[in-house]
Amino acid sequence: MAAGGLVVTPQLVELDSRQRSTVLTLANRGENTETYRISVINYRMDGQGNLHPTDTPSEEEGFSADLFRYAPRQITLEPGKPQTVRILYRRPANLREGEYRSHLLFQQIPKAVAVASGQSAGSGLSVRIQTVFGITVPVIVRHGKLEAHGQMTDLQSTQVNGAPGISLRLSRSGRRSLRGDLVAFADGEKIGRLNNVAVYLSTPYRDVVVPLLPEEAKAAAGREVVVEYRPRGDAEGPAIASASVRLH
pLDDT digits (tens, 9 = 90+) for 132-146: 668 999 999 999 999
Q: Residues 220, 197: contact at Cβ < 8 Å?
A: no
Q: What is the CB neighbour count within 10 angstroms for residue 210?
A: 24
Residue range 220-246, pLDDT digits in tens = 999 999 999 999 887 778 999 999 999
Higher per-residue pLDDT: 2 or 108: 108
| pTM of the predicted protein model | 0.87
Query: What CA dihedral angle connects 182, 98, 138 and 154, to 10 degrees?
Result: 30
Predicted pLDDT at 146: 96
Which residue in 17, 167, 6, 190 sits closest to 91, CA to CA? 17
Q: Answer whether residue 103 shows pLDDT above 70.
A: yes
Average pLDDT over residues 154-162: 93
Query: What structural domains does the chain harbor?
Result: 2-143 (2.60.40.10), 148-246 (2.60.40.10)
Q: Answer whether residue 130 shows pLDDT above 60.
A: no
Contacts for 173 with CB less than 8 Å, ≥ 6 apart = 148, 149, 151, 204
Predicted pLDDT at 248: 86
Q: Residues 84, 24: contact at Cβ < 8 Å?
A: yes
Q: Answer whether residue 218 shows pLDDT above 90.
A: yes
Predicted pLDDT at 213: 96
Which residue in 43, 39, 24 sits closest to 87, CA to CA? 24
Least confident of 31-45, 64-78, 201-215, 231-245: 231-245
SS (H, E, C) 127-172: CCCCCCCEEEEEEEEEECCCCEEEEEEEEEEEEECCEEEEEEEEEE
Predicted pLDDT at 185: 96
Average pLDDT over residues 6-25: 96
Residue range 88-99, pLDDT digits in tens = 999 999 999 999
CA angle 216, 222, 226 (to 5 degrees): 65
Chain Cα centroid distance, residue 238? 23
